[in-house]
Structure 1
Amino acid sequence: MKVLAVRGNSLNLRDSPVREERNAGEPCLEGTKKLTGVAVFDDEERLLPLVSSFLSHGLKNGLMSYESCLTYGKNISYFHQYLLTRREFADCERDTAMLEVRTHAIEEYFSHLREDEELSQKTIRNRDSSLMAFFNKYLCRGVDDVPAPRSAINPYSDGLLSPRPMKRLVSACSISDLKQLMLSTKSERERCLLQFIYDTGVRRSEVPRVTLADIDDALAFQNTLFISGGVTEAVNADYCPLYVAGSKGYADEIKPRTTLVSRATLLRVKKYHSSPLYKMYRKQFGKANETPAFLNAEGNAYTPNSVTKLLDRVSSRAVSNLKISKKISPHKLRHGNAYAMLRSPDIGTDYLDRLVAVQKTLGHSELGATETYTQIPYDLYQKLLRPGSESKTKAGEMEELVKQTRLRIDLGDSK
């Protein structure tokens, strides 16, 4: 099974075999053509036209993001593979089994995933959601005035078919785990990035879009003057607003938001920016708003995958040294940021205020998404805190972390 997606890729038609084999009188292919679409292939490398058409329409018309197309393509392909193992669909060509399948076969597929493959309820629900979109938005509705491909009853007319997943407490990176991750690398550049991700709650896909100008603008907030009652003074706050060119926007669009970052973290980042290492690599970029705030060992901007590899490497090292119990992903740092804000007494006057602050800084469209961090009732959560921990602020924890983990970047350092 393979899913290929392209968006706005240029195809050079000058040397195309189609151009050479054209019949007399047919127009000649010249120049380049922009391609946008999705192709899904089965295990025998045959195109699945129904699935490919559905995803291509979504990508071309901005209804689905690039990553969503890849995910939907894989989820629907898994179901297609299962259908071909059933006797009633053995003679179906390509993905025509989708035109005949009934509700009971889909429910038996989810039972197979649960009992035989032992997949989690959340994973099964994700596959169910992909199938529902395929049936509701394409197979049983049609696209662009073309009749619906499927004439049989829609198995998703009453909604999702899998059981609702049980809500579980979100697993997050604690401040002590973060410290151990940072101590597991000898690079101040990497330590700085790990603290930044935790303190800002940015997604791994958002890290490459944070620029040198964003850091400078956030620190400039300290110089903002507030005039009240005849008193003029600088803010000098423990937190600064940081602009984030956020992910999860509609059809891959940037979803901007502002997050709260501790001044101690920003100052640590600025010290990294003033190092000979960063100054050497940043010369290849243009203006401050075009220069990534974090550069890897080769002087290039981090990618989402390289952020994941960094966490995997330092986590594995920390686990091997018995400093943490299990590996930590980039998203666990984001979860850690949410819990740090919820327990910080200087962010909001009460728990609801802090919950709304978390919603805004993480970029959740609805408060319900943020409430996944509140599975433990607040009164019980307060009893679980260690004595004195309720008085600690996120800004104070970040300042202490800098003192405990900061390394000097010398002139001869190459990493």
Structure 2
Amino acid sequence: MELVWSTEDLKIAGRPHPGFPILLWDTMESCAPVNQFIRHYLVRGKIGSKKSWPSTGRAMYDFFSFLQAHELDWQDVNRGEAKTLLAGYRDYCLNECQLKPSTTRQRLSYVCSFYEYALLQGWVRRLPFEYESRAVKSMKGLLTHVDASGGMHATKNIMPRSHRTHPKFLRMDEIRALMSVVKNPHHRMMIHFALQTGLRRAEIATFPMAYIIDPDKLTRNTRNIEIHLDPYDGYGICTKGKKPRTIYISRKFLSILYRYVVQIRGERASLTDNKHRQLFLNHFGQPYADNGKRIERIVRELGKRADIKVYPHMLRHTYATHTLSRLQKSSGKIDPLVFLMRQLGHSSIDTTMIYAHLVNELADDAVLAYDDELHEYWEAA
């Protein structure tokens, strides 16, 4: 029996729990095995970051909603010639819901882990998927000579093929357009900060004011200033994976940040009696909650005013692309990719390499003046 579905089929009653993703679904008799799996999968550290827990719960809820809508049994793994449960769910995600292949792959990875756990528990007799060999990008680096994979990798056959897309970044004319619509000095400083440092949204939201020092107290020949981002120093910076790292900012930009702290930030800080440590505060004088989700909305709304699709992580890509381009065209002794990898906090140079492809898209010589132009917009505001 083939799977047939429509959007109307998925009007399912019941909602997932909003907090810890234990799936308390009164409408689903199969919730007990899922609850047991999630406790095992999450609490035992299968996913290191608790921020990823809700996505696991949502993926499982969505899959079982799909099954219930079509009156399918999750234990029906021996379907013969019929389309497997996971293949049907995959096609539904891609064709009906128009989800990105990456999103579909993430959901399916959780579902596959559930079935692997179910097999160990004896709830099913076999897995509803098989493995096949697919070509992958060959490994480069120190251990290249011991790679015996032949460029092939065992992959679950129900997974949609992945096609790597390059991250999007803003060109200089788009940066100008975005900066021109930012009237709020606090929002303007946040965007400038993101473009000058490449920090992640959560890092911007939790960046401590204590890291900003008076540049006049530094020696005159100091051009670049080291700032150590340490989640364990008591100031509250939230880096990815709680990994400390050192970033560099120019003396000129440090002067801009210091003026912001002295002349502008106090306006918002005075709205509350609490002395908050974060550099950026919301319109209530409070730190941005939930790792800066409000910052996400602010940047997207400003982008709409400038008729540009932009979000905080795109500002990070913009910093990385233009900085790499500038470093590659300079005569310095530093390795551009290594510097950028450390600045961005990447654990592998392969992640940073993606920006080398983006640099080729920059044909305008104006990118050489990226840093100076940003300062011009700031000074003219």
**TM-score, normalised relative to structure 1:** 0.69
Q: What does residue range 6-405 of structure 1 map to in structure 2 within 5 Å?
A: 37-42=20-25, 44=27, 48-64=31-47, 65-87=49-71, 89=72, 92=73, 97=74, 100=77, 104-136=84-116, 138-141=117-120, 148-155=121-128, 158=131, 159-160=155-156, 161-216=158-213, 223=218, 234-238=220-224, 240-241=226-227, 243=229, 245-249=237-241, 254-275=242-263, 278=266, 281=269, 284-286=273-275, 291-303=277-289, 304-319=292-307, 326-345=308-327, 353-375=335-357, 381=360, 384-386=362-364, 388-389=365-366, 391-392=368-369, 394-404=370-380
Alignment CA distance shift 1:347-1:4 (3 Å): farther
RMSD of the alignment, in Å? 3.3
Per-residue deviation at 1:328? 0.9
For residues 349 and 119 of structure 2, what CA distance do their matches in structure 1 show? 33
SS of equivalent residue, structure 1 residue 337: helix
For residues 346 and 86 of structure 1, what CA distance do their matches in structure 2 show? 56
SS of equivalent residue, structure 1 residue 344: helix
Per-residue deviation at 1:358? 2.0
How many residues matched?
331
SS of equivalent residue, structure 2 residue 84: helix
> Over residues 351-385 of structure 1, what are the superposed CA-to-partner deviations in whole Å (9 max), with x where a residue is unaligned?
99222222222222222222232345x6xx17x51
Alignment CA distance shift 1:337-1:242 (3 Å): farther
SS of equivalent residue, structure 2 residue 17: strand
For residues 347 and 276 of structure 1, what CA distance do their matches in structure 2 show? 36
> Over residues 233-253 of structure 1, what are the superposed CA-to-partner deviations in whole Å (9 max), with x where a residue is unaligned?
x5421454452634431xxxx
Alignment CA distance shift 1:351-1:55 (3 Å): farther
For residues 265 and 70 of structure 2, what CA distance do their matches in structure 1 show? 60
Alignment CA distance shift 1:236-1:292 (3 Å): same
Alignment CA distance shift 1:107-1:202 (3 Å): same
For residues 95 and 36 of structure 2, what CA distance do their matches in structure 1 show? 32
Q: Which residue of 1 aligns with 2:147?
A: none
Are the equivalent residues in 2 in contact too, given 1:178–1:195 (CA < 8 A)? no
Per-residue deviation at 1:46? 7.2
SS of equivalent residue, structure 1 residue 345: helix
Letter in 2 for 1:248: K
For residues 255 and 28 of structure 2, what CA distance do their matches in structure 1 show? 53
SS of equivalent residue, structure 1 residue 260: strand
**TM-score, normalised relative to structure 2:** 0.75
For residues 227 and 84 of structure 2, what CA distance do their matches in structure 1 show? 52
Letter in 2 for 1:165: S
SS of equivalent residue, structure 1 residue 38: coil
For residues 264 and 96 of structure 2, what CA distance do their matches in structure 1 show? 56
For residues 29 and 247 of structure 2, what CA distance do their matches in structure 1 show? 46
What percentage of residue pairs aligned between the two structures are identical? 22
